[in-house]
Amino acid sequence: MSVLAEAWRHAPTQRRVWALAAPMILSNLCEPLVTLVDSAVIGHLPHAHQLGAVAVGGSLFTLLAWAFGFLRMGTTGFAAQACGRADGDALRRVLLQSLLLGLALALLLGLLALPFGAFALGLMQPSAALDALAREYFHTRLLGLPAVLAGYALIGWLLGTQNARAPLAMLLATSLGNVVLDLWFVLGLDWGVAGAARASVIAEWSGTLLGLALARRALRRYPGRLPWDALRRWTNWRPLLAVNRDIFLRSLLLQLVFFLITVQGARLGDATVAANALLLNGLLLTAHALDGLAHAVEALCGHAIGSRDRTALQRSLAVAGLWSLLASLGFALFFLAGGGLFVGLQTDIPAVRELAMEYLPYLAVLPLIAVWSYLLDGLFIGATRAREMRDAMLIAVALALPLAWLLRGLGNHGLWLAFLAFMALRALSMAAFARRLWRQGLADQAPAAQAAG
């Protein structure tokens, strides 16, 4: 307890944590705004199929782009460790590697996106009018895919250099630019759905170009040169690719869990699956806020590991961990006391509201369990130990799936109990891996970063 108390009273660590966490919380809230603004503006046009086209096309694009969000997480740890070592050459190499990887993946996705979109729309079987507009919106948004993936890499790299204001500036430029262009193109120029898509593409490229300018400015603080010879050697690519691969697999497993919740909820009835979706929106709200503190952990822990500063690592974990716990308690109390308002804001369908209120206590407990996974994600990303993240997720899924099968007789209560167990198993598995790494001298070594050098 004395270590925790000393860390909590350490004002410089408190300032460093919140200097990173506060902008990243705002940044996280900005991320989903592009498609949301498109929907809001198109929602004022006269035909329902126009709004439906943006919803469907936006979902397809988001699914593609989200699947490669590992570019942000995979970049942060390497950049933070290079920053901790004051290694300007490594910082330049990591940035260029991540941008080139994002460009390559964007080109690959561009080739796969057209058949993927056609297949997905075929499964949905929309009306002819909605189908045509959704394809137009989706195909236009693909022009912004390189900017989106490059933006992930830039945000991860900037955060790794302990610069959280630059990612916030990027996302604000994207979001505000999209609002202005949406209003101009859709309502002013009457371009309809195509105008919304064009506005998003221009806004995404604007945010990424701003990020490149901010990254160039950040590099001035770290003298060095770009080691072109290092980029030609496979050994210097392997650590970054391995980390991104493991984060990608971990994220797919997490999405599998949410997909199975939706499938099982649908089997229990339309009202049940709708109520579960509303409650899971509460989890997303919690995750967006708590991830801001996790992002601070990524940058500060990566920096401490790079500089081999065990005390700074302990302090960063302790301060961010205690604030995360306090925030999760706040969310739990909010859902218990204001759950009715939260549900009421999302729906006025009596059956759905009644079911959501019945299962609301599970949502209130969820932040207290999930918070540890978010915090430890930050530690593992900062340490570039994605394999442990992947393995912890595998263990949690492998144990939770049989439990869900055993609890299926309890209906939706069994489903929520299984989900809570999954989150708890994930946190416990990650804590066990973290304890082992700490005993091995996590603060005194950065194996992945060293291998990449």
Please tell me the predicted confidence (pLDDT) of residue 447. 43
Higher pLDDT, residue 186 or 126: 186
Q: What is the mean pLDDT of residues 376-391?
A: 88
Kindly state whether residues 58 and 159 are assigned to the same domain: yes
Q: Which of 71, 87, 73 is nearest to 303 (CA)?
A: 87
What's the rounded Cα separation, in Å, for the pair 146 and 329? 39
Contact 299, 76 (CB under 8 A): yes
Kindly state whether residues 113 and 216 are assigned to the same domain: yes
Kindly state whether residues 5 and 67 are assigned to the same domain: no
Please tell me the predicted confidence (pLDDT) of residue 103. 92
Kindly state whether residues 61 and 115 are assigned to the same domain: yes
For the chain, how many structural domains are there in total? 2
What is the domain extent for residue 301? 1-22+236-453
Kindly state whether residues 429 and 287 are assigned to the same domain: yes
Domain closes at, from 181, 206, 232: 232
Q: How confident is the model at residue 239 (pLDDT cuts 50, 70, 90)?
A: confident
SS3 232: coil
Average pLDDT, the chain: 83
Kindly state whether residues 255 and 201 are assigned to the same domain: no
Q: What is the pLDDT of residues 78-114, one digit of tens each?
A: 888 888 888 888 899 999 999 999 999 999 888 888 8
Higher pLDDT, residue 409 or 126: 409
Q: How confident is the model at residue 364 (pLDDT cuts 50, 70, 90)?
A: very high
What's the rounded Cα separation, in Å, for the pair 176 and 375? 30
In 31-144, which ranges are continuous DSSP H helix?
A: 33-42, 48-66, 70-84, 88-124, 128-141
Q: How confident is the model at residue 452 (pLDDT cuts 50, 70, 90)?
A: very low
Q: What is the mean pLDDT of residues 297-309?
A: 83
Residue with tokens 């900062």: 382
Q: What is the pLDDT of residues 125-140, one digit of tens each?
A: 667 777 788 888 889 9
Q: What is the mean pLDDT of residues 187-211?
A: 90
Kindly state whether residues 264 and 353 are assigned to the same domain: yes
Contact 141, 197 (CB under 8 A): yes
Kindly state whether residues 161 and 249 are assigned to the same domain: no
Q: Of 26-35, 344-353, 403-412, which gets the smallest average pLDDT?
A: 26-35
Q: How many helices (H) and strands (E) does the chain have?
A: 19, 0
Dihedral (C-alpha) 331, 337, 340, 341: value to the nearest 10 degrees? -70
Q: How confident is the model at residue 418 (pLDDT cuts 50, 70, 90)?
A: very high
Q: What is the pLDDT of residues 333-363, one digit of tens each?
A: 999 988 888 787 766 668 778 888 888 999 9
Kindly state whether residues 257 and 212 are assigned to the same domain: no
* pLDDT greater than 60 at residue 445: no
Higher pLDDT, residue 44 or 445: 44
Distances, alpha carbon 253 to alpha carbons 54, 73, 364, in Å: 27, 16, 24
Domain closes at, from 232, 257, 281: 232
Kindly state whether residues 35 and 18 are assigned to the same domain: no
Residue with tokens 């369990």: 369
Please tell me the predicted confidence (pLDDT) of residue 347. 65
Q: What is the pLDDT of residues 310-320, one digit of tens each?
A: 888 888 888 98
Domain closes at, from 211, 232, 253: 232
What's the rounded Cα separation, in Å, for the pair 365 and 336? 9
- What does R_g of the chain's alpha carbons equal in angstroms? 22
Please tell me the predicted confidence (pLDDT) of residue 38. 62
